Amino acid sequence: MVLSSTRLIGAAALAALLLSACAPVARYQGYTVLESNPGSAKVGEDTMATVRTRYGSPTTVSTFEPNIWYYMSQTTDQIGAYRPRLRAREIVSITFDKTDQKVAAVKKYTAQDGRVIAYSDRETPTSGRELGIIQQMLGTLGAGAILPRQDDDPGNLGGR
């Protein structure tokens, strides 16, 4: 009787372990909204300083236009060894006026606004030739001496 109850407990523990492995694991990446959302910045009222104070530093700043700040976040779920599945994505773009640094525009983007980009598998040709490993090793032999010369000594101060 003891053996059968031990097997029953073991089987229940194994089933619980297997079912817990299938529980989704949520991952939060990027900007975390604590008290207020960056999308609530007021156009014409808030400045760069007030936005930074209220929402913190942006996730990134536009490469070509430093007056555009982005706050990005996304939540994904992953079950077991499967690929992560996107649950939510939000990007808030805040554009500042160049003259007075006040908020000029606030735009919100979600995962539905995204587009799939087809990457090209072509390569850009480069001029010159590629050297093999043997050519690289033998090419450095004539470039300099193996042992340092007397005037290369760090203690030699050039005749002083």
Mean pLDDT of 74-79: 85
CB proximity list for 74: less than 8 A, separation 6 or greater? 28, 29, 30, 86, 88, 89, 90, 111
Mean pLDDT of 95-124: 83
* Predicted pLDDT of residue 156: 57
Grade residue 157 by pLDDT with cuts at 50, 70 and 90.
Answer: low
Grade residue 49 by pLDDT with cuts at 50, 70 and 90.
Answer: confident
Phi-psi region of 141 (alpha: psi -120 to 50; beta: other; left: phi over 0): alpha
Distance of CA 96 to the CA centre of its chain: 24
- Max avg pLDDT among 40-54, 97-111, 128-142: 97-111
Could you give the dihedral angle defined by the CA atoms of residues 49, 107, 83 and 29, in that order, rounded to the nearest 10 degrees? 10
Residue 53 has pLDDT above 70, yes or no: yes
Q: pLDDT for 121-143, tens place per residue?
A: 777 777 667 777 787 777 766 66
Question: Taking the model in full, what pTM does it have?
Answer: 0.56
* Contact call for residues 61 and 48 (beta carbons, < 8 A): no
Token pair recorded at residue 37:
């959302």
Taking residue 117's Cβ as centre, other Cβ atoms within 10 Å add up to 6
